């Protein structure tokens, strides 16, 4: 569990290290506010992928006749999430997640897919890891190995410092099963 008291103390230390006065009016409540914010934005760190899968495991029989020669695909596009990069503790923002899978008899409630993405985002990590973790959880819930997760996002450690490429977006793709080999399926992720 996240230790809010310890975060408060350390944020106070950072304010001092920055040469500021943590006891001036504007900063007085800052350590407490940051600790509360961290508890919320890092809520996903309290759970393993397996625990997140159990939390949002709401599936339905898809009722599709498997004797018919066809393939179904479910794609959810532009799910908004945010996260924090583990290299700089910097916000990753304007993130859009696309999740696709080929149902194997079970379909997950669509709102649950968005909830999974949101919870996975609330961790300290790299963008690639978000896609892998969402794919793992989708496979655990739906039983399908044919899963793809693509993510586009801005990283404030890139846009607000260093080389200041302010419009740079990072794109990552986690392609599994038939999404790895079937260009027709990959089209849905564009
Ligand atoms: Zn970074």
User: Could you tell me if 57 and 87 lie in one domain?
Assistant: yes
Tokens of 67: 């004797």
Tell whether 14 and 71 lie within a shared domain.
Answer: no
pTM score over 0.75? yes
CA 33 vs CA 4, 85, 108: distances in Å: 10, 20, 36
Model pLDDT for residues 31-88, shown as the tens digit of each residue? 999 999 999 999 999 999 999 999 999 888 876 665 666 678 999 999 999 999 999 9
Of the residues 10, 36, 88, 186, only one is catalytic, namely 88
Domain with residue 22: its CATH number is 1.10.286.10
Nearest to 166 by CA among 176, 151, 178, 156: 156
Radius of gyration of the chain (CA): 20
Could you tell me if 62 and 93 lie in one domain? yes
The pLDDT score that the predictor gives to residue 17 is 98
Residues 71 and 88 in one domain: yes
User: Is 117 assigned a catalytic role?
Assistant: no
Domain of residue 151 covers: 49-189
| pLDDT tens, residue by residue, 105-148 | 888 988 999 999 999 999 999 999 999 999 999 999 999 999 99
The beta strand positions in the chain, using DSSP E, are: 59-61, 74-85, 90-101, 106-108, 124-125, 147-155, 170-175
Query: CA 26 from chain center: how many Å?
Result: 32
Same domain, 13 and 66: no
Same domain, 11 and 54: no
Distance 126 CA to ligand 1 centre (A): 8
- One domain, residues 30 and 75: no
- Between 71 and 97, where is the model more confident? 97
- Give the Cα-Cα-Cα angle 90, 95, 98 (nearest 5 degrees): 140
Residue 88 annotated in active site? yes
Domain count, the chain: 2
**Per-residue pLDDT at 164:** 67
Give residue-wise pLDDT tens across range 18-33: 999 999 999 999 999 9
């Amino acid at each position: 569990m996240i230790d809010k008291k310890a975060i408060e103390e350390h944020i106070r230390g950072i304010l001092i290290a920055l040469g500021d006065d943590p006891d001036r009016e504007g900063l007085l409540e800052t350590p407490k506010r940051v600790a509360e914010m961290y508890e919320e934005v890092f809520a996903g760190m309290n759970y393993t992928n397996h625990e997140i899968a159990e939390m949002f495991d709401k599936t339905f029989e898809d009722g599709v006749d498997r004797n018919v020669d066809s393939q179904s695909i479910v794609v959810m596009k532009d799910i908004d999430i945010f996260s924090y990069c583990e290299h700089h503790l910097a916000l990753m923002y304007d993130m859009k997640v696309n999740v696709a899978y080929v149902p194997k008899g079970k379909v997950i409630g669509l709102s649950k897919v968005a909830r999974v993405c949101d919870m996975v985002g609330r961790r300290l990590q790299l963008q690639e890891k978000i896609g892998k973790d969402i794919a793992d959880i989708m496979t655990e819930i739906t039983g399908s190995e044919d899963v793809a997760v693509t993510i586009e996002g801005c990283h404030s450690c890139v846009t607000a410092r260093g080389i200041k490429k302010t419009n740079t977006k990072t794109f990552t793709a986690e392609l599994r099963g038939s999404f790895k080999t079937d260009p027709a399926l990959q089209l849905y992720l564009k």
